[in-house]
């Protein structure tokens, strides 16, 4: 099947199924181009609540589709391929959380949305990179159990002055861990007029050299403030930004910063997902209920 035919079929099936396609900012251009909504995981999950559709095809990694399902239990949520998973979210197990709770029984558990539904069920509150500082600041405890990203944990510790106990201790994203000080120097040398937008999943020494530290949603909101940017996150973000701001310049800090889980989804998977109604995301009700509470607490606190 040619690409045009696949797109035509997707449009036809979308109508037939009363479905919408949501895609994360890191998706392949061909997938971004057929999406009804683009954004970071939380923006998409929130949009999913208001959208009038029976089916949501979620082009993103599994924890994002789970979050959408938790907030939309009555809708069918489909993940186009089972290979779309987040290596960082998979680093954190329930055992890690329970172990830390034994050591710090009074400390609240704060989990980055990049975590499984099961882990979220053990959280007091979830956070995104955009609201983590505010949420942790407002908890009345000076020690906080935080997972699974140690670099976002470092950023939160720095901004709040609180003691952050990271679970697991080495939790990180291998895509953002690729960025080094050499990348910063090369960026400054090649693009002297550009500012650096850096995701908080990058290592602390790279964060320190940033002009702004922001989630992908924040990158979109802040891009209007300058004409030229070097982007320190998954490389497809540049495609997304360039399409939104055709008159500005965006450069990926590294061409090889690609997330394998995100890139596992192709246009053909999206089509087959709609055709065969696969792969349906389910979250056990007792897990979903507890995870929903942690997510809703975040929404109230931010």
- What is the binding site for ligand 5XR (CB under 6 A)? 25, 40-42, 113-114, 128-130, 173, 201, 215-216
- Which of ligand 5XR, ligand SF4, none does 261 bind, CB closer than 5 to 8 A by kind? ligand SF4
**Interface pattern 33-52 for ligand SF4 (x via CB under 6 A):** --------------------
- Which of ligand SF4, ligand 5XR, none does 113 bind, CB closer than 5 to 8 A by kind? ligand 5XR
**The one among 20, 23, 53, 61 contacting ligand SF4 by CB under 6 A:** 61
**The one among 79, 144, 173, 298 contacting ligand SF4 by CB under 6 A:** 173
Q: From CA 9, how far away is CA 275, in angstroms rounded? A: 9
Asked if 203 is part of the footprint of ligand SF4 (rule: CB under 6 A), the reply reads no
**The one among 20, 53, 175, 214 contacting ligand SF4 by CB under 6 A:** 175
Q: How far is CA 156 from the centre of its chain?
A: 17
Question: The sheet that has 228-232: what strands, in order across it?
Answer: 212-213, 195-198, 228-232, 249-252
What secondary structure does DSSP assign to 103-158, as a single string?
Answer: H-TTSPEEEESSS-HHHHTT-SEEE-TTTHHHHHHTSS-SEEEEES-HHHHHHHHH
- Which of ligand SF4, ligand 5XR, none does 131 bind, CB closer than 5 to 8 A by kind? none
List binders of ligand SF4 among 100-119 (CB under 6 A).
114
**The one among 203, 234, 236, 272 contacting ligand SF4 by CB under 6 A:** 234
Q: From CA 192, how far away is CA 64, in angstroms rounded? A: 36
Q: How far is the CB of 173 from ligand SF4 (least distance, A)?
A: 3
Q: How far is the CB of 289 from ligand SF4 (least distance, A)?
A: 25
**Residue 20, phi-psi category: left (phi > 0), alpha (psi -120 to 50), beta (remainder):** beta
Token pair of 6 as six digits? 């696949």
Asked if 87 is part of the footprint of ligand SF4 (rule: CB under 6 A), the reply reads yes
Q: From CA 219, how far away is CA 206, in angstroms rounded? A: 16
Q: From CA 168, how far away is CA 266, in angstroms rounded? A: 31
Binding residues (CB under 6 A) for ligand SF4: these are: 61, 86-88, 114, 173, 175, 234, 259, 261-262
């Amino acid at each position: 099947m040619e690409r045009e035919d696949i797109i035509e079929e997707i449009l036809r099936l979308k109508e037939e199924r009363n479905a919408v396609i949501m895609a994360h900012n890191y998706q392949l251009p061909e997938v971004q181009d057929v999406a009804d909504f683009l954004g970071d995981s939380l923006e998409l999950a929130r949009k999913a609540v208001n959208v009038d559709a029976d089916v949501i095809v979620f082009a993103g990694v599994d924890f994002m589709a789970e979050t959408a399902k938790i907030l939309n239990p009555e809708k069918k949520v489909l993940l186009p391929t089972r290979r779309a998973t987040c290596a960082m979210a998979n680093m954190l197990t329930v055992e890690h959380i329970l172990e830390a709770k034994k050591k710090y029984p009074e400390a609240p558990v704060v989990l980055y949305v990049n975590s499984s539904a099961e882990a979220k069920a053990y959280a007091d509150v979830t956070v995104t990179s955009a609201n983590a500082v505010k949420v942790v600041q407002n908890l009345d405890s000076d020690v906080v159990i935080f997972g699974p990203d140690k670099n976002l944990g470092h950023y939160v510790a720095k901004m709040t002055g609180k003691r952050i106990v990271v679970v697991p201790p080495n939790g990180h994203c291998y895509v953002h861990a690729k960025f080094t000080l050499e990348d910063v120097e090369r960026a400054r040398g090649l693009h002297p007029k550009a500012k650096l937008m850096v995701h908080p999943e990058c290592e602390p020494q790279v964060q320190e050299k940033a002009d702004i530290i922001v989630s992908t949603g924040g990158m979109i909101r802040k891009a209007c403030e300058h004409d030229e940017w070097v982007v320190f996150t998954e490389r497809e973000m540049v495609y997304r930004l360039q399409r939104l701001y055709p008159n500005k310049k965006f450069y990926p800090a590294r061409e090889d910063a690609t997330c394998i889980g995100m890139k596992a989804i192709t246009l053909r998977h999206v089509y087959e997902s709609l055709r065969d109604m696969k792969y349906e995301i389910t979250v056990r009700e007792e897990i979903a209920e507890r995870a929903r509470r942690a997510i809703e607490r975040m929404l109230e606190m931010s």
